[in-house]
Amino acid sequence: MNRSMPAITLHDLTLGYERHPAVHHLSGVFASGTMTAIVGPNGSGKTTLLKGITGFLRPLAGAIDRGGLKPKDIAYLPQHLEADRSFPITVLDTVLLGLWQEIGMFAGMQRTHWDRVTQALFTVGLAGFETRTVNELSGGQFQRVMFARMSLQNAPVLVLDEPFNGIDQQTTADLLEVVRRWHAEGRTILVVAHDLALVRDFFPQTLLLAREMIAWGETRQVLTAAHLDRARTMSEAWDQSAAICRQEAA
């Protein structure tokens, strides 16, 4: 993976819905090759920020500079609870969707593609699960499928929304190892997480949100008692009906 890929820069960014801000006046840089946890109280704008970075949500104000990254360069894994698993698609077919942007809908699979699929399933501990349907899987197994699919996208930027929420401890440990490998390849990784102990142990960088930035930088300097108390205090003062805010120019 090319470590010279551009950074993602936020310029006084405000994101929201129907003109009501969910994240406002956020500026900072996700440097190329960094691994950042995004944390904050419930409703603090974490998912909204990911949707802005991935292009699913347009800014209300400010801008996101992706440095020339194309849509295929950013792989997005939404919260797994949002996925519809009622359709009886197989594990293999689900994982193969990770190659869609690379080979198209009608192009034939080459031997190298099949080798990558086999390796992806092995890496997440699902070798031999190819013919099972996703509605047969546990929550942890399904999340392993999603990680295998994401691996095949070969994107330099990986964005994951609460990937470890609601899964067992062993699956979390296994998938954290997959994330560690992605980071070692030089990919830029953004992960929304709730488990602060996990964040402290695993993520070098952290962004603490409470609709606005509380702190952003080295994890041990961000997750201080003072910063966490401020985030909680601000969360209690949220006004869901507030109009888009304005800041006077300095």
Q: What is the pLDDT of residue 151?
A: 92
For 242, the domain range is 1-69+204-250
The pLDDT of 10-23, averaged and rounded, is 91
CATH code of the domain covering residue 229: 3.40.50
Tell me if 183 is assigned to some domain: no
Mean pLDDT of all residues in 89-97:
91
Q: pLDDT tens digits, residue range 228-248? A: 999 999 877 666 555 555 554
Average pLDDT for the chain: 89
* Residue range 166-197, pLDDT digits in tens: 899 999 999 999 999 999 999 999 999 999 99
Classify residue 78: in a domain, yes or no. no
Pairwise CA distance, residues 92 & 231, whole Å: 42
Provide the strand spans (E) within 127-204. Answer: 157-161, 188-192
Question: How far is it, in rounded angstroms, from Cα 114 to Cα 121?
Answer: 11
- How far is the C-alpha of 118 from the C-alpha of 99, rounded, in Å? 13
Structure tokens that stand for 176 in this block:
């954290």
Q: Cβ distance 148 to 98 under 8 Å? A: yes
Instruction: List the beta bridge partners of residue 133.
Output: 90
Weakest-pLDDT range from 56-60, 111-115, 161-165, 220-224? 111-115
> How many domains does the structure of the chain reveal?
1
Contact predicate 10/29, CB 8 Å: yes
45: in domain: yes
Tokens 């990911």 correspond to what residue?
A: 50
Residue 219's closest CA among 50, 7, 41, 36? 36
The whole-model pTM stands at 0.89
Q: Is the pLDDT of residue 2 over 60?
A: no
The residues, ordered by sequence, that sit 6+ positions from 225 with a Cβ below 8 Å of its Cβ are: none
Of residues 24 and 107, the one with the higher pLDDT is: 24
Quick one: tokens of 123? Answer: 């890496």
Write down the pLDDT at residue 10.
97
In a domain, 146, yes or no: no
Render pLDDT for 195-214 as a digit per residue (tens, 0 to 9): 999 999 999 999 999 999 99
- CA–CA gap between residue 250 and residue 248 (Å, rounded): 6
- 36 lies in a domain? yes
Amino acid identity, position 197 = A
Query: Does any domain span residue 44?
Result: yes
For the stretch 43-84, pLDDT in tens is: 999 999 999 999 999 999 999 999 999 988 999 999 865 566
Taking a C-beta distance cutoff of 8 angstroms, is the pair 37, 193 a contact? yes
What pLDDT score does 249 carry?
Answer: 41
Residue 100 lies in a domain: no
Return d(Cα 112, Cα 146) in angstroms, integer. Answer: 20
Residue whose entry in the numeric block shows the structure tokens 């698993």: 85
User: Is residue 47 situated within a structural domain?
Assistant: yes
